[in-house]
Structure 1
């Protein structure tokens, strides 16, 4: 006996597809709607740390992730000088999971793997659709979708990202705020000199870094003050990113030569929010970026989203009903853990903005210890 027999998942990102996989595997009838026409076509690179990899292994997709991505178990700090001088290597804090500390991969590959797994287990996915109305009667949720009218479910999971439609429909109006930083990202081929993430703090940008995403690919990023870059053409965007990259050396010299495709460059602002309290209203619950978002300064956004889904489904499958006890357990398992990571992500960026020498090693140690514990 489980707490639910039918679930509507809104959102086809990591949190939504993970929840769909785990529920469908347990025999729950799952519908998933995603507003985008194809989630596997969106994004560049992603850094997936060990706590996320543990969830992906439980989802039954680790072999595909291992083949598609690029694993490594340390990162390095380099100086923003004319040589890109290697300062020191930081070995990752690992658990006895047998998994690498980090896997870099092409974000659309991760999306494709999760979508295919969900479909293979019988979840019904519909793209180009979302919910427009939710009505609860205490025992179920009546959901009106933009493509197929009305359906009734035991539970609705809002995994539809920042500025969540589901959140708005249930009265959770937690809007993200900009943190003051903007990030240039580019996806390109991987030179032999890049075998892990290296970070450069300072110089022309606050952070310059890169992450291998496969044998033949990587994504590189540069963090600056948040600016309105909307008026720039693709060629102008590429020129700005290459101009910033000119100030960094070492492997950046190899990467910069490969920054040639304007369509592979994008720019976004860092934002953050946290729903500070229960993430549900009755039988509708938010997970992932719908409930919390943070700058990628500690690379935990997708990991937290995957954990949300795993913990929620674990509790649903162990319970007989959806009640206050279940929601209290979910809040206890997730809120403080997520808050620690979100606060650390924002604090690291704020130190850089303020030019302060904060306790970065201590902050990173806190994050590593937090996410190293089972979710």
Structure 2
């Protein structure tokens, strides 16, 4: 017996689809409502730490993810300059445990397609062009959900996994909003040079971080982290020229990256944000998870993993218990809020040290401390 029989989910990102997969596999009637008109994913690639891979295995999607992505051990640090000298080869904590790689990357659209396919195969109903626009709590045990301003039905639970600018979060009166951290990032999806076999980071030069992560046998995404700037109105051609210019201080594989940029690689720009909704994340029979509940700059690349853990813990409780009561919510918040908050605070601190040009900070200690904490299952 499960605590819920019929659940609505707003959003189609990793948290939403992970929840849909687990609930549908348990026999719950699941409706997923996504505002976008079709399956799509902003950005070029996504970095996945070991604890994200552990969740994928629990979902039953790890084999498909492994086949589409590129996974590796360790991290390379390089210095600016035409030869891009290697400064250090660092081992990474296997946050998913010994059975999974330390981390990896894959194209965001490929990951989105895998998760939707598995959710639908499990029995979830996924609707695109369907925006959650309202809700009406029915006593203490149900919520009516309105989609595109029309009633979509009455549900035992609404899960708001609708991203940074969550409509569900606003509808239930949570005032917490993502705040800029002061950094912005250029990203481009490019070809993977054969010598790039893991994530590599360059510190110093005209930007805070230059780096790239393999996402497949032939692909990777490259990025440059700078002071956050208003890039509104920058054309595609101008974006390429800016990224080309800011990357000129970096050699090695950046030569091949610049060739791809000059040939017309797609470039996007976003600001880093951070927020965490204080407990509780629910208001009655409505709860927010994933980016709707917390976000952080990708300085330790835990965003996707934390969203996936939210979904796994929530659905574990919903399918193992026979009632949605305060004990369930207390258990959920005890397992998720301190862990997500630790990741947000560490990620923001690492960025702040860079903004302050603080060379005495113990960044490795902070990174490895969080990684060891994440190695323990949520």
Query: How far apart, in 2, do the equivalents of 1:222 and 1:61 lie?
Result: 31
Q: Is the 8 Å Cα contact of residues 201 and 209 (structure 2) preserved in structure 1?
A: yes
Post-superposition offset of 1:41: 4.9
Q: Does 1:283 align with 2:249?
A: no
Query: How far apart, in 2, do the equivalents of 1:173 and 1:166 lie?
Result: 11
- 3-state SS, counterpart of residue 40 of structure 1: coil
2:329 match: 327
2:178 match: 176
Query: How far apart, in 2, do the equivalents of 1:367 and 1:34 lie?
Result: 33
Post-superposition offset of 1:144: 1.1
* Residues 105-254 of structure 1 mapped to structure 2, 5 A cutoff: 105-136=106-137, 137-146=139-148, 149-254=151-256
- 3-state SS, counterpart of residue 125 of structure 1: strand
* Residues 345-364 of structure 1 mapped to structure 2, 5 A cutoff: 345-357=347-359, 358-364=361-367
The gaps in structure 1 that reach 5 residues or longer are none
The 1:147–1:115 alpha-carbon spacing in structure 2 relative to 1, beyond 3 Å, is farther
Post-superposition offset of 1:263: 5.8
Aligned length in residues: 375
TM-superposition CA deviations, 1:141-179 (whole Å, max 9, x none): 111111753310000000001121001110112111101
1:17 match: 17
Post-superposition offset of 1:299: 0.6
Moved over 6 A (4+): none
Query: How far apart, in 2, do the equivalents of 1:286 and 1:185 lie?
Result: 28
Query: How far apart, in 2, do the equivalents of 1:147 and 1:124 lie?
Result: 19
1:70 match: 70
Query: How far apart, in 2, do the equivalents of 1:143 and 1:247 lie?
Result: 52
TM-superposition CA deviations, 1:232-287 (whole Å, max 9, x none): 11001000001111111122222222223546100011111000111000110000
Query: How far apart, in 2, do the equivalents of 1:184 and 1:363 lie?
Result: 25
1:372 match: 375
Query: How far apart, in 2, do the equivalents of 1:267 and 1:28 lie?
Result: 39
The gaps in structure 2 that reach 5 residues or longer are none
Query: How far apart, in 2, do the equivalents of 1:233 and 1:254 lie?
Result: 23
- Give the structure-1-normalised TM-score: 0.98
Query: How far apart, in 2, do the equivalents of 1:43 and 1:181 lie?
Result: 17
Query: How far apart, in 2, do the equivalents of 1:90 and 1:41 lie?
Result: 31
Q: Does 1:295 align with 2:297?
A: yes
Query: How far apart, in 1, do the equivalents of 2:98 and 2:258 lie?
Result: 36
Query: How far apart, in 2, do the equivalents of 1:268 and 1:193 lie?
Result: 28
Query: How far apart, in 2, do the equivalents of 1:37 and 1:48 lie?
Result: 26
The 1:268–1:189 alpha-carbon spacing in structure 2 relative to 1, beyond 3 Å, is same
Query: How far apart, in 2, do the equivalents of 1:39 and 1:261 lie?
Result: 27
- 3-state SS, counterpart of residue 235 of structure 1: helix
1:42 match: 42
Instruction: Say what the alpha-carbon RMSD is for the aligned residues.
Output: 1.2
Query: How far apart, in 2, do the equivalents of 1:315 and 1:90 lie?
Result: 37
